[in-house]
Each structure stands twice: as C-alpha cells, then as structure tokens.
Amino acid sequence: MRPLIATVDLAAIRHNHAVAKRCAPGRQSFAVVKANAYGHGAREVVSTLHDEADGFAVACLEEAAEVRGMHGTARILLLEGCFEPDEYRVAAQLGLDVVLRDDAQAEALLASDPHKPLAVWLKLDSGMHRLGFTPQALRAWHARLQDAAQVAELNLISHFACADERGHPLTEQQVEMFLDLLDLDFNQRSLANSAAILTIPAAHMDWVRPGILLYGATPFADLGAHELGLRPAMTLEAELIGVREVERGASVGYGADWIAERPTRLGTVCCGYADGYPRHAPAGTPVLVNGKRVPLVGRVSMDLLTVDLSDHPDIVVGAKVELWGAGLPVDEVAQAAGTVGYELLSKVTARVRRRYRGH
C-alpha cells in the first residue's frame, strides 16, 4: 500500500468550532462543509459536528442531499441556490435554506410549486461583485417575496471580499451596506465568514459561517492559526522511498531546472500533484522529514517530489515525511507556493487514504 495518508483530527475540528462559537456568543453557526468539507470528508465532519453546529452550508444540491442523509434536522444552507427550476421542489423535500442570488433564480422560485414553502436568503452584493442583488434590486425582491406562497422565511445574506485583510476599507463599507438594509423585515441575517467571526464582532448578526477556521488554517496572511487558538485538522504524511547522492552540477526532476550547487544528498517522497501537492511549489518550499525541515528541490511530479537531505546524513529510506499538518502549518506551505491553505486542503485527491482520529 502506497505510504501516503491524510490523518484528520476530528477533535481538532470540534475544538475549532468551539473557538468560533466563543468568538460569536449567542449566534448560530452554519458550519461550511462544501467541497467535501475542504477535503477533510463531509460525512465525517458532519458526524463530528452533529450536535455542535446549528446548521451546515454547502455549495450545491448534491452536497446538501449528502448532508441531509447524515443529519435529519439541521438547517442546511444552499449557498449557490438552485440551478434548475425543478430543484426547488427537491430543496423543499430536503428542507433546505435556499439562497437567491439573481433575478432568474427569484423568478424561477415564484414560478415553482415546491409543495411547501422554503426558507429563502436574499444575497446582497455588498462589494464582492461576484453574485447577489444590488441594494435597490434586493429591496424590490423583498417586497415581491415577503408574501409569496413559496416563501416561509425571508432572510438576508452577504459575503466579505477582504475580511482576511485586517483594516481594509471595503470591509467597513460592506458592513454599512448590509446594515442599511435592516430597516426591512428579515427573519435571520448572516454576514460573517471565518475572518469576520474572529475579528469583526459587528458582522456576527444571527448566523455565522465558519469555514477555513474549522479545519485549523488561518484566513489571515499576518496571523497564524496557532495565534488564533486553532488546531490543524489535517496532517498529510508520507515516507521517504529513495535516497541518492549526486555530484555538483547534477540536475533534478523534469525540465532539469534545479541544479545542485554542491554534492547533494537527495530524498524522494511518494507524494505529487496527483495527490494534491501543488505542482507550482518552488524549490525551498519546506518539508518535514523525521521532524527536521528540509527544502523541496526540482519540479513536483505527478506522484513524487524530491527534497535536499544534505544537512541530515542520518535520514534514511523509510523516514516519516510531513507535507503539512501538526508540525508544519499548511498556510506556510501555501505561502511558499503562492497560494492559500484553502486550495491545498480542498485539493487533496481521493487516492490519498484518509485516517480519522479523535472521534
């Protein structure tokens, strides 16, 4: 069996959810479990938070159906709403909360017969400029929907663009735009993502939406997960499956674009971009081998990557390798690779075995 495994600490996920609840006392939480719970396993995360979270947030109907199969009573928020008119009936059968993000979705809802009314969340485009209604359009739809037979509850939701950059002026503008609509009658309101839960109490509203913080990674460039009191949930572990010596001037990997500047002791690790490790990670990206930091060298290939062991002659084949996790923050690896922890965690592929502890 290939020695590569993603160990997921479910106790860490419970701990991180508790951090979110402590930051937003009295608020309810939609635990965000889209994209297979950011690569951690939706089934296991929902089971772990079954009695902790007030609800769960997903991207699409298929994800919602999976969550409903594991939790019969939790509120489930469909973040992107319905893509086809007949999905409203399915959403009603599953008892979902449905986001409306544009005129077409709202018209489709009014033309539908879901058999029972839905909890509807009107999405405000408060500055992300990706999806959602303008304030004027949202006011018009609020008037049309508040007495519609298809609507059981009318709520307000929006999403921050820059809450991960502390002090960004757009964040305050988004909060103000959201608050300006609260003269309308809404049953529930939701604005705060992970970054806002941790640092913007004014955005907590009725429901918070913890996402990346649940998995022990930071939403901030200047604040680490440990500083925020978060515990990493996933440790991606492999083994050293080859060690060799090369002379000064030898190249390593595809493209031969890394050249040894000294006699070098190389180690080969059974993890590559087909497992979710970033192909674009540059030489120097940190890897832990037997608890010691060593630099990545050469290009990451589909199934393998190479590290420089020259300063550690005691490390041999079979040594334990941590690509990220409890000893090496995923955010540090992501920063070295020019990306974010969200991407690395969610891209760990299905061929990587998952092991769960802390049930």
- What mean pLDDT, rounded, does the chain reach? 96
Q: Residue 230 in contact with residue 197, Cβ under 8 Å?
A: no
Reported as a single tens digit per residue, the pLDDT across 94-152 is 999 999 999 999 999 999 998 899 999 999 999 999 999 999 999 999 999 999 999 99
d(CA 137, CA 176): 17
Instruction: Specify whether 254 is catalytic.
Output: yes
Catalytic residue among 21, 34, 123, 342: 34
Q: What pLDDT is stored for residue 221 in this prediction?
A: 85
Q: What's the fold here for domain 10-219? A: TIM Barrel (3.20.20)
Reported as a single tens digit per residue, the pLDDT across 2-51 is 999 999 999 999 999 999 999 999 999 999 999 999 999 999 999 999 99
d(CA 168, CA 97): 31
Task: Give the whole-number percent of the chain exceeding pLDDT 70.
Answer: 100
**Residue 302 annotated in ligand binding:** yes
Catalytic residue among 38, 116, 123, 254: 254
* Domain-wise residue ranges, the chain: 10-219, 234-357
State the pLDDT confidence band at 167, using cuts at 50, 70 and 90.
confident
Question: Can you tell me the mean pLDDT for 43-70?
Answer: 97
Q: Quickly tell me which residue has 């019969």 as its tokens.
A: 72
Q: Residue 224 in contact with residue 329, Cβ under 8 Å?
A: yes
**Residue 130 annotated in ligand binding:** yes
Tokens representing 23 are 């930051």
CATH number for the domain running over 234-357:
2.40.37.10
d(CA 205, CA 184): 15
